């Protein structure tokens, strides 16, 4: 079955060779893009969708999200809005609620968030564990996540739980029994490398154990202050360093030279009233930048990639073009994927139709629901 998307006002392909096509058309066949070009030059298809001058972009790729959890942290949010400083301590509150929740409740909550994301144009999402912090709970959280995406991340090293005698004891569990139980359900391994969570030596040990178990590394790095996370990401060949709020010149150089994607999460800065990352500095240094929601109940409870894209343009020095790249192709690179994040022959037929003539409106009209249709593998889902 093939579908022609015709009379596209502006097609953002994400293909560096031909990034934008005005007055365009696109053909998807058997779930894959097979042709893009000017409207009227198409090879024909079984079905036709009249886009009527609207803009079409690739489905958003959200490469950093924490969706398997229970509980609520509105009290923490209210305290922050009253002037208290964010320290990541509330993670333990979510851990307690998640451990007490049934599998059915966790799956239902995850399904609801994935549906929210899809309605806002996200067709590929990464989901982390990290709110169980026991062998059994980390395993079940990843098993639930695997029901929604193939991009699952083992984040047993989120924080040291209060019921564990010492950080060293917990690291032994994370690199031993917990890793063995979780690796079959994960593609990635991640560590929250921050003051109050895991230091450089612990992060290196955990990531190295994950790599040995066949998982690919990524790092929560340099969110709360300057730290070793970015340098470790470069040293260990991580796909991405996520947050990147506090960077030295050496950190920026390490990201650029090692080809590590800097995944920026402006929803976290918005929610915690923290300084935003300087995307302009990274882009000017040749670093590949991705945007993601960091959807979680504590520091960034948003499922909206359009909102994060608008924040990136308004607060982080990105142009609208750079932001749409980061929300699509950049996210795909952060997941080491070549089949999503673009609309070019061979790409998966994941596309978003906007109720707007250009993707610029995603930043120009923040908060307005501009996503009018979402297609995944050539099938309309929204």
Per-residue confidence (pLDDT) for residue 229, from 0 to 100? 98
pLDDT range class, residue 93, cuts 50, 70, 90:
confident
Instruction: Provide mean pLDDT across the span 29-40.
Output: 97
| DSSP-derived secondary structure letter, 129 | -
pLDDT range class, residue 26, cuts 50, 70, 90:
very high
The domain segmentation of the chain, as residue ranges, is 2-58+342-380, 60-335
Per-residue confidence (pLDDT) for residue 89, from 0 to 100? 64
User: pLDDT per residue over 357-382, tens digit each?
Assistant: 999 999 999 999 999 999 999 999 99
Alpha carbons 63 and 310: distance in angstroms, whole number: 17
Residue found by looking up tokens 């579908």 in the block: 3
Per-residue confidence (pLDDT) for residue 68, from 0 to 100? 98
Instruction: Provide mean pLDDT across the span 25-49.
Output: 97
299 is in an annotated binding site: yes
Instruction: Provide mean pLDDT across the span 184-211.
Output: 97
226 is in an annotated binding site: no
73 is in an annotated binding site: yes
- 88 has pLDDT over 70: no
64 is in an annotated binding site: yes
User: pLDDT per residue over 159-180, tens digit each?
Assistant: 999 889 899 999 999 999 999 9
Q: What percent of the chain has pLDDT over 70?
A: 99
- Pairing assessment for the beta strands 20-29 and 2-12 based on DSSP bridges: antiparallel
Where b means 16+ CB within 10 Å and e means fewer, 258-292 reads: bebbbbbbbbbbbbbebebbbbebbbeeebbbbbb
Question: What is the number of residues in the chain?
Answer: 382
Count of alpha carbons within 13 Å of 187, Cβ hemisphere only? 15
pLDDT range class, residue 203, cuts 50, 70, 90:
very high
Where b means 16+ CB within 10 Å and e means fewer, 51-82 reads: beebbbbbbbbbbbbbbbbbbebeebbeebee
User: pLDDT per residue over 288-305, tens digit each?
Assistant: 999 999 999 999 999 999
Per-residue confidence (pLDDT) for residue 315, from 0 to 100? 97
Per-residue confidence (pLDDT) for residue 65, from 0 to 100? 98
Per-residue confidence (pLDDT) for residue 317, from 0 to 100? 95
Per-residue confidence (pLDDT) for residue 74, from 0 to 100? 87
Instruction: Provide mean pLDDT across the span 29-52.
Output: 97
- Pairing assessment for the beta strands 127-128 and 152-157 based on DSSP bridges: parallel
223 is in an annotated binding site: yes
Q: The domain at 2-58+342-380 falls in which architecture?
A: Roll (2.30)
Write the class of the CATH domain 60-335. alpha beta
How much is the mean pLDDT over the chain? 96
Per-residue confidence (pLDDT) for residue 84, from 0 to 100? 80
- 147 has pLDDT over 90: yes
Per-residue confidence (pLDDT) for residue 87, from 0 to 100? 63
Per-residue confidence (pLDDT) for residue 342, from 0 to 100? 98
294 is in an annotated binding site: yes
User: pLDDT per residue over 106-121, tens digit each?
Assistant: 999 999 999 999 999 9
- 230 has pLDDT over 80: yes
């Amino acid at each position: 079955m093939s579908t022609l998307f015709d009379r596209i006002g502006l097609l953002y392909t994400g293909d560096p060779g031909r990034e934008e096509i005005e007055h365009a058309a696109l053909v998807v066949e058997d779930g894959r893009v097979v042709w893009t070009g000017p409207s009227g030059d198409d090879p024909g298809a079984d079905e036709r969708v009249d886009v009527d001058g609207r803009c079409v972009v690739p489905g958003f790729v959200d490469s950093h999200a924490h969706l398997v959890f229970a509980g609520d942290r509105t009290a923490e949010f209210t305290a922050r809005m009253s002037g208290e400083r964010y320290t990541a301590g509330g993670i333990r509150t979510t851990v307690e609620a998640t451990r007490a929740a049934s599998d059915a409740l966790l799956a239902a909550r995850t399904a609801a968030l994935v549906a929210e994301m899809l309605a806002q144009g996200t067709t590929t999402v990464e989901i982390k564990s990290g709110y169980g912090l026991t062998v059994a709970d980390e395993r079940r959280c990843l098993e639930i996540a695997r029901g929604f995406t193939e991009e699952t991340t083992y984040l047993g090293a989120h924080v040291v739980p209060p019921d564990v005698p010492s950080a060293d004891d917990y690291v032994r569990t994370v690199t031993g029994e917990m890793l063995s139980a979780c690796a079959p359900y994960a593609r990635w391994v991640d560590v929250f490398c921050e003051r109050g969570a895991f230091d450089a030596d612990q992060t290196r040990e955990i990531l190295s154990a994950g790599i040995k178990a066949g998982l690919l590394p990524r790092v929560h790095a340099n969110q709360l202050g300057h730290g070793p996370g970015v340098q470790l990401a470069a040293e260990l060949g991580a796909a991405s360093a996520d947050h990147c709020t506090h960077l030295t010149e050496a950190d920026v150089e390490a990201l650029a030279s090692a080809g590590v994607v800097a995944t920026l999460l402006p929803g976290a800065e918005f929610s915690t009233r923290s300084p935003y990352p300087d995307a302009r500095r990274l882009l000017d240094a040749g670093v590949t930048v991705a945007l993601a929601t960091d959807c979680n109940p504590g520091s960034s409870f948003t499922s909206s990639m359009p909102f994060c894209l608008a924040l990136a343009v308004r607060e982080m020095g990105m142009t609208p073009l750079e932001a749409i790249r980061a929300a699509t192709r950049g996210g795909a690179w952060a997941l080491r994927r070549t089949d999503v994040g673009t609309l070019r022959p061979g790409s998966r037929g994941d596309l978003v139709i906007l109720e707007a003539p250009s993707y610029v409106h995603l930043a120009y009209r923040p908060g307005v629901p501009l996503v009018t249709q979402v297609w995944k593998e050539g099938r309309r889902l929204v």
